[in-house]
Chains A and B, each alone.
Chain A
Amino acid sequence: MSDKSNKYLNFLNGFADSVFEMSPDEVKEELAEFGESRLPVKDILRKSAKKFQQRKLLAAEQVYRERRLEYFKIQQRIPERAEDQRHLLMTILDRNPRLREQMTLQHRDYTDIPDDDLPELLQEILALDVIPESSADNDEGAP
């Protein structure tokens, strides 16, 4: 870690290490002799840890907000009527043969998907972000 060729840093490190050679009484004696107020070490460390945890929490909240926004954006792209939803699904699958293959594997025949399942399915597909907005949206709501 320390660069042994830098004598000043050797000095700095050597002195820092010498603290470990001091007995508890010596440490207290030095503290009293130097007239320095005691640092609230535990409090400083706890406060830093709390700050770190808050930062993690803020980052998580930011991710949550972004995902929520993304969810609502996708929701807006899904038509209200089941008929339109099915049409949108067909359009997407027509333009994405690989997706169609995967769908066929999962559902055998994707034309049999119940109306109630369509919004959730479309939500999942649109969230994959493989469908350019324009290509799906151009046909939204079209019979």
Chain B
Amino acid sequence: MFIKDDQATPVTTQEILTAIDQLTEQEELILERTARWLVRFIKKRAFGFEEEDLLHEAITLTLVGQRRWCKNKVTLCKHLHGVMKSIADHWWKSKSRQSLTLESDLYVETENSDSINPMQNFKDDEATDAEAKIIEEEHFAKIKQLTQSREFALLIIEGIREGMTGKEIRELGLTKTQYETEMKWIRRNLKLVFEK
């Protein structure tokens, strides 16, 4: 479920608090956009959890030490971005609200300040179930319909589906401007797809 990065230097609560205070406006916007996009994608499987819950969960798991922030390698913004993706992934795969109780609320702190995650042995709900598959197919059908008349949009969507990065997709033959224009169009229209 959540993998501990044992290579990371432990960060103190105070260091995390300071980093929160030092987030720039742009970083706040990035985190907000990330949270909004992730929740938009998993809305039908998030069992009522929203953007605030995603941010709360990401920072709490970081404070608990379950998701260690390598502050010398990445900014707090980048770290939280990664943690939110991981949580969204987990929420999408969870079968029920009951199994999706916020993990951070279940942590038990021992006398030695070690954290115990009582959910770590409950991995059997990790398999994406049939309901998720149906929603995925519905979404993809709508996206396909949306992009069928736009060659570059279709190319980008297919690339992302295959797990390619933006850079890798551009290498398929798109200029930076073409890619950015098309992504902008996709974002605008995808929002409508998920709102329907």
Q: Which A residues lie at the B interface, using CB under 8 A?
A: 1-4, 6-22, 24, 26-28, 30-31, 33-34, 36, 38-39, 41-42, 44-49, 51-53, 55-56, 59, 63
Contact = CB atoms under 8 A, between A and B. Distances in A.
A20 B81 contact: yes
Interface string B1-27: 001000000000100110011010110
A3 to B, nearest CB: 8
Contacts of A4: 162-163
Contacts of A22: 30, 33
Contacts of A17: 85, 165-166
Contacts of B25: 24
Contact of A2 (B41, B78, B84, B89): B89
A52 B64 contact: yes
A54 to B, nearest CB: 12
| Interface size classification for chain B | 35 or more
Contact of A21 (B37, B63, B92, B183): B183
B140 A39 contact: no
B109 interface: yes
B60 to A, nearest CB: 5
B30 A19 contact: yes
Contacts of A8: 41, 92, 132, 136, 139-140
Contacts of B29: 24, 27-28, 31
Contacts of B111: 63
Contacts of B150: none
Contact of B55 (A34, A44, A52): A44
A24 B183 contact: no
Nearest to A55: B109
A12 B88 contact: yes
Contacts of B20: 42, 45-46, 49
A19 B109 contact: no
Contacts of B163: 2, 4, 10, 13-14
B13 A10 contact: no
A41 B33 CA distance: 10
Nearest to A63: B111
A20 B81 CA distance: 10
B52 A44 contact: yes
Interface in B156-196: 157, 159-166, 180, 183-184, 187-188, 190-191
Contacts of A6: 128
Nearest to A41: B28
Contacts of B82: 1
A27 to B, nearest CB: 5
Contacts of B13: 49, 52-53
Contacts of A53: 13
A17 B17 CA distance: 24
A1 B35 contact: no
A65 to B, nearest CB: 13
